[in-house]
Amino acid sequence: MTYDNKVKAYKKLVADVKNCTKLNDCNSSKSSKSVKLEKCNFCNEVNLWSYWQGGINNLDADILLVGQDWGNFRDSKCEELVRSIKSINEYSNNNFKYPFKENPTDRNLCKLFAELGDTYIISESNNPKVFFTNLVLCYRHDSGISGGFRQRWARNCSEYFLRLVSIIQPKVIICLGRSVFDAVVRSFGEKPPKCDYNSTVSNGARNLSLNGTSYTVFPMAHCGVFGTNNRKDTKTDLTGMDQIGSNWQIIKEYL
């Protein structure tokens, strides 16, 4: 696919995400306590996370990083970011700096991408070798940033995720956390492993095929607070980030 065709396909994907009719199904539940999703009417990328690392300048990226969902963009902690994104949309502001230091997951991602070499270093600015998206492309309505995840959300967004993969055709896909890895494997029409996730991470990459193209998909621990705590080795002095960093070192062989 030529780059011009990639840009056209990406813009069509963004438009289709905006016009998606599956939100009611995502929010269907007999439980009054279930987390509800909403669309983000000011997001002009496939995902709000893609404003940091993504967009039309990153459609030849080597790495596609996949998170679970972005959370609640109405949260007070997101006010600065939301203002910046709206400014970009209105004025085509190319000086946008993503406030990654506000989020522990994003700070840790900067450390982990540095493990892959200078080519893949990320900071406030956009690195064209990297593309970030969440698997779930809607946002939590008046709720927190985690908990209550439903595989129904992932199933409904899987067609958009696969279209993004086909556009970018990355060398590697990195999945943050078990729910993401399992959902990505299912989106490719395969069955996820049944072993515990630490073993899944230790077993390394899985090759998954889409339209005749094979993709190298890495299961990785989430690098937020819970993920790093779960990876901490109580038998040694290694921190959770030490363990996750050693897992990321393997990715370099595929880039």
pLDDT in tens, the chain (255 residues): 899 999 999 999 999 999 999 999 999 987 777 889 999 999 999 999 999 999 999 999 999 999 999 889 988 888 888 888 888 888 766 667 777 667 888 889 999 999 999 999 998 889 999 999 999 999 998 766 666 788 899 999 999 999 999 999 999 999 999 999 999 999 999 999 999 998 999 999 999 999 999 999 999 998 865 555 555 555 555 577 888 888 999 999 999
Tokens, residue 156 = 């409904």
> What local confidence, expressed as pLDDT, does residue 110 receive?
93
> What local confidence, expressed as pLDDT, does residue 175 receive?
97
Match 């050693």 to its residue by tokens. 246
The SS3 of residue 215 is strand
CA distance 239 to 255: 26
> What local confidence, expressed as pLDDT, does residue 33 receive?
75
CB-based contact 190:208 (threshold 8 Å): yes
CB-based contact 142:74 (threshold 8 Å): yes
Tokens, residue 118 = 């200078």
What is the number of other CB atoms lying within 10 angstroms of the CB of residue 216? Answer: 18
> What local confidence, expressed as pLDDT, does residue 245 receive?
85
Nearest to 166 by CA among 17, 59, 255, 39: 59
> What local confidence, expressed as pLDDT, does residue 109 receive?
94
